[in-house]
Amino acid sequence: MALANLHNWNDLSRETVRKGVERVGFRGDDVMCVMNWLTPGMDTNPHSHTFEQLVIIVQGRVRFHLGDEVVEGGPGSMIRIPPHVVHYAEPVGDEVVLNLDVFAPLREDYKHLVEYQRAEFE
């Protein structure tokens, strides 16, 4: 198995999730990162899940709704979403938001996003 495997999120095929939302994934043994492109005017999707989510804003400004709270951040902002909290994001302004999500352990429902890395883990 190769130890260094370089990938660039700009070179990967993006999955379209819904209007205005695209994503790609990258994984390690027990962790997964998902880069999301959030376009102003996107369809929002309030949801919750059983695992913790860490969010890092790389580009643009975003408003996160977390339960009854609303927080707004830009590049460098980090947000922790606890398990079972209903949440969603919406871009603020005209710029596409790059939102990096970190999940540990790997999300089974997102494994299709990292299929391109299969050989790295065989």
- List of residues 6+ apart from 37 with CB closer than 8 A: 14, 21, 22, 23, 96, 97, 98
**Domains: count for the chain:** 1
User: Residue 29 maps to which CATH number?
Assistant: 2.60.120.10
In a domain, 7, yes or no: no
pTM: predicted TM-score of the whole model, two decimal places: 0.92
Q: How far apart are alpha carbons 36 and 25 in whole angstroms?
A: 9
> Residue 29: pLDDT above 90?
yes
What domain range includes position 78?
15-113
> Residue 27: pLDDT band by 50, 70, 90 thresholds?
very high
In a domain, 54, yes or no: yes
Q: What is the pLDDT of residues 31-62, one digit of tens each?
A: 999 999 999 999 999 999 998 999 999 999 99
| Count of C-beta atoms within a 10 Å radius of residue 27 | 19
